[in-house]
Chains A and B, each alone.
Chain A
């Protein structure tokens, strides 16, 4: 199996698009994520159908210099490097990729096109925080898979919240969900301009640079791109582009006279299975988040779902109707939408600022409550009518008959479906990573991108999920049996 996968990778690499093919095609395809945000790449507020940003301008200038056309290809930022590797969708990456040892271990990179540093951002009303040190144990937001993330992760003493984009962590910092954001200077530059609520905390540190990502095999393409960047720097094009976005800072002096550092031989992607002592504890740590989010979410779903089922079974008409609408709405719209709504929507419109963990649990709970209500309803309907008649004939009220006679039987009938939902939720809970919680799947993704070992980590992660769902189903089956 492993040999087969290796062979597929090699075949793809051998057919990688070369510089000659790009010229023949007349178009250079560059990958980026349009969700990246200002100033990199974003939808022009005046003309929402057009993309703008300094990387869009840079791609235009670069391809013009190379004498080919430019084509933008959308790809999730997290997945740009893996997607470049398979060689079919785009030729290069222009997406604020850091010229870091981690990235150079996976792909070839051009000379830098922009110099930047790390900027700590806090709220204007916070006491004079000037570094990460006073933020021990506090929530700090950071973009997934960046140098900023590695800096925070290496410290190990912060509550690191991982985001998928460059916009929402500033929003959460403003509303008080975060105490700080660590980001690249260009992002801070754009988002702090005219924002009185946020301020820079201390000077930029950890200087680095962005460079264009190229497949290692495309050895003819890389020098062409290096030459083009050098020419754009020399003829003032880069200065003109960056000035437009307020990015032509003193740091950019580092771009001139840049010499490629001596680079050691690229590290082969080592199997993380051999390093399981390192990675398994990391994954298990993330699994703890998965477990508590699932258990807490299911606790809400089971109780609230029961309340909904009872209201539908024995409530006044208005309440019955309301409960039915609730079930339809929460079953009929995507969980992802509900999470965004609860986490971002409530904070913005109503000032209800739920923490990421609480929002995740509430969203999962409210969503699954609709399913559980249906499970209970099916259970209640499966109890023979004679049962409630016998109870009523004894003089029980409808409510007592439901509570003492129908419900105990209905719950036994519903239990297998509820068990299924519990296991389904343990997997669905991975969706809460969109609001910054690093649960098992997100941790897998982070580590897999770091190490390029999707298989080894995948085996470990899958094993953990299997162990969790197996434990849950064994425990719940035992419960079912004891209730019989």
Chain B
């Protein structure tokens, strides 16, 4: 479903991604962990081309994008249509209601009618538990509610893959669970997901596979049971020691 080979990206002199090889099956849930600045975010942003990679290739579904001097805008757009993106800071459209936010993509990208897009959007808002907030503006919603609307907005495009870029990092602890519940439910439904997060307990519970990134590389990968209990790399162990609460 997702495959990257030798994926690389530099910002100026800094090599942010340094040869990422990754393959992920349909329905698989992969969790990205690693210290801040390790390249998790850039990896996700390359996957849906908010950043253009400068080496390697990305394949999602049947679209393959080679690194090149001039990005092919049409191909980038097709690649994006395979994936839905959820941002750390939600990025809801503040001038539109929750319902309109969810309808925006289907109407103006897929060309659905208002009635068609509205019905789907209401169903999705109900799914994330916000049926009664459809007519609220983002400014009238809590952070957790905004993030759930953002998830519904991404799902409205019927993506094959969902990319989550630290979806709960901007939320107060008491609001995180409502978002994580939605992610859990998506995973149970068999959605292919790639989640960057610092929620280790959640990662262990939900992941089929964990990638530990450091310095723009995948330093270690494996099933969550092994990564969290018996990591082979000293760096992984050190990272987990810092981040996991003392038991």
List chain A positions with a Cβ less than 8 A from chain B.
384, 386-387, 389-398, 400, 404-405, 408-409, 412
B89 with A386: CB separation less than 8 A: yes
The main secondary structure of chain A at its interface with chain B is helix
Among A389, A396, A398, A400, point to the contact of B91 (Cβ < 8 A). A389
Taking CB as reference atom, which chain A residue is nearest B45?
A: A389
Sample (15) of A-B pairs whose CB atoms are under 8 Å apart = A384-B91, A387-B91, A390-B91, A390-B92, A390-B93, A393-B48, A394-B105, A394-B109, A394-B153, A394-B154, A400-B108, A400-B109, A404-B104, A405-B93, A408-B95
Q: What distance in Å separates the Cβ of B58 from its nearest Cβ neighbour in chain A?
A: 15
Q: A396-B109, A397-B73 are in contact. List 9 more A-B contacts (CB 8 A).
A: A389-B50, A389-B91, A390-B87, A390-B91, A391-B93, A393-B48, A394-B80, A394-B104, A408-B95
Which residues does chain B contribute within 8 Å of A400, judged by CB atoms? 108-109
Number of B residues, CB within 8 Å of A = 23
B108 with A386: CB separation less than 8 A: no
Among B50, B94, B105, B108, the one with the most A-chain Cβ atoms within 10 Å of its Cβ is B108
B154 with A393: CB separation less than 8 A: yes
Q: What distance in Å separates the Cβ of A439 from its nearest Cβ neighbour in chain B?
A: 38
Q: Mark B42-60, 1 if CB is under 8 A from A, else 0.
A: 0000001010000000000
Q: Mark B74-91, 1 if CB is under 8 A from A, else 0.
A: 000100110011010101
B157 within 8 A of A: yes
Which residues does chain A contribute within 8 Å of B104, judged by CB atoms? 391, 394, 404-405
Instruction: Give Cα distance in the complex from A404 to B87, angstroms.
Output: 19
Taking CB as reference atom, which chain A residue is nearest B74?
A: A397
9 closest cross-chain pairs (CB), A and B: A390-B91, A394-B105, A393-B85, A386-B91, A395-B109, A395-B81, A395-B80, A408-B95, A389-B50
Instruction: Give Cα distance in the complex from A386 to B87, angstroms.
Output: 9
Within 8 A of A (CB), among B130-156: 150, 153-154
A404 with B108: CB separation less than 8 A: yes
Instruction: Give Cα distance in the complex from A387 to B84, angstroms.
Output: 15
Among B80, B89, B108, B157, point to the contact of A392 (Cβ < 8 A). B80
B87 with A396: CB separation less than 8 A: no
Q: What distance in Å separates the Cβ of A314 from its nearest Cβ neighbour in chain B?
A: 12
Which residues does chain B contribute within 8 Å of A390, judged by CB atoms? 85, 87, 91-93, 150
Among A387, A394, A408, point to the contact of B157 (Cβ < 8 A). A394
Which residues does chain A contribute within 8 Å of B84, judged by CB atoms? 393
Within 8 A of A (CB), among B95-139: 95, 104-105, 108-109
Instruction: Give Cα distance in the complex from A392 to B85, angstroms.
Output: 10
Which residues does chain A contribute within 8 Å of B73, judged by CB atoms? 397-398
A387 with B48: CB separation less than 8 A: no
Q: What distance in Å separates the Cβ of B199 from its nearest Cβ neighbour in chain A?
A: 22
Which residues does chain B contribute within 8 Å of A384, judged by CB atoms? 91
Q: What distance in Å separates the Cβ of A317 from its nearest Cβ neighbour in chain B?
A: 14
Taking CB as reference atom, which chain B residue is nearest A403?
A: B108
